[in-house]
Structure 1
């Protein structure tokens, strides 16, 4: 007799963060709890499953604040390149996306070749793949 199988959620890719970044993101999530509790909870959940390393051990192929990332929207078959930044440095017209957006929360800590599912603001589910992570954009880190 076979046991019915439950529909499983796709396995989420691993997340790696530096200890410094963890503290910054925890503070951001606390500040976001009143304005957007759902997004703050999503970030807290992601932080809880992250592997924490020293800043010096954060590999260059991991998405982090200030790093440019190219990802492919497998659903739309389109590539996008953005720089992940802190909220105060976000500027969509210059492809600088806040870590405190649904996409930013989904990207932080992922490595090249990671595939993940992301739900758009209008409820559509997308499959995205990290193609390339580039070195830190010093302007993004300094808020230029």
Structure 2
């Protein structure tokens, strides 16, 4: 995934320790079946600042969080970032294994990231707002 900002640097991302561990295991298990998705997720995990769950600042996009975001100049959209088994685009639930889902992980409002879509085109995703996940979703 191309994930650089206009200045050529990737935006800083933060991930809760428990989510980092679970997502790392997911990427490892996926490596043979879908190496591209596994590589995208692993690259984001490798560059993330990992913090204890209790120290996660509000407003950081984590699993189960809702993000309001814009892709390029399209209309804003809202979606929940979920694990693959919970994905359902008709309910605005985006898997962390999709290019958009991997790009959203760990960002906060005001951050943007460039990512390569499935068609290879570089797109710009900008986070407008992050709405906290309910406690039950964070623990699952």
Q: TM-score range by the shorter chain?
A: 0.7 to 0.9
Aligned length: 135
1:36 and 1:121 mapped to 2: Cα distance? Answer: 13
Query: 8 Å contact 2:13–2:107 — kept in the other structure?
Result: yes
Query: 8 Å contact 2:116–2:123 — kept in the other structure?
Result: yes
Using structure 1 for the length normalisation, give the TM-score: 0.85
RMSD: 2.0
| Structure number with bigger Rg | 1
CA offset digits 1:30-75 (Å, max 9, x no partner): 11101111221121121111101110111121111110000112x2
Query: 8 Å contact 2:41–2:96 — kept in the other structure?
Result: no
Does the alignment pair 1:62 with 2:46? no
CA offset digits 1:50-108 (Å, max 9, x no partner): 101110111121111110000112x2332110000111111110000111111111111
- Write the mapping of 1:86-105 to structure 2, written as runs, cut at 5 A: 86-105=83-102
Using structure 2 for the length normalisation, give the TM-score: 0.88
- Write the mapping of 1:1-144 to structure 2, written as runs, cut at 5 A: 10-73=8-71, 75-137=72-134
Gaps of 5+ in 2: 1-5
- SS where residue 59 of structure 2 aligns? coil
Gaps of 5+ in 1: 1-7
Query: 8 Å contact 2:60–2:107 — kept in the other structure?
Result: yes
1:78 and 1:139 mapped to 2: Cα distance? Answer: 30
Query: 8 Å contact 1:68–1:137 — kept in the other structure?
Result: no
Return structure 1 stretches of 4+ with deviation > 3 angstroms: 137-143
- SS where residue 78 of structure 1 aligns? coil
1:122 and 1:92 mapped to 2: Cα distance? Answer: 19
Query: 8 Å contact 1:62–1:109 — kept in the other structure?
Result: yes
